[in-house]
Amino acid sequence: MTINLEVKSIRLIVEIIKSNITTIKLIVKSTELILESIELIVETIKSKILSFNYKVKFIKLKVVSYKVKIVSISINVKTIDFALKNLRLIISSITNKKKFQKLIWNSYLQLTEVKILI
């Protein structure tokens, strides 16, 4: 299954996060999230969230070229209170593509399975 999301779809996801969710289970084989040029591929995501409060006042994200592949993420969270007032991530250019690809590949090797228990 392939899902293509635009910027307008992200706002829908934020509205869903603001609602009261006791359990989330998401299994995706192939996901592509494109903001100008973003490829995000997630094969497996499993999340259990009992209480999640998420407040964002300002986020500006601009990525020209970025690729991330995560094989497996397992997150078990009981309570998260997260308030983010300002986050700006701007990547306008990548001078050394080979080094960047190597960095992403190393990150991929380290992120084949991530477990967060809070």
The whole-number average pLDDT for the span 16-20 is 44
Does this model's pTM top 0.75? My answer is: no
Burial 20-55 (b: 16+ CB within 10 A, else e): eeeeeeeeeeebebeeeebebbbeebebebeebeee
Q: What is the pLDDT of residues 48-95, one digit of tens each?
A: 555 555 555 555 555 555 555 555 555 555 555 555 555 444 454 445
- Domain count of the fold of the chain: 1
Domain span holding position 16: 2-117
The per-residue pLDDT for 105 is: 46
Higher-pLDDT residue of 88 and 109 is: 88
The whole-number average pLDDT for the span 84-112 is 47
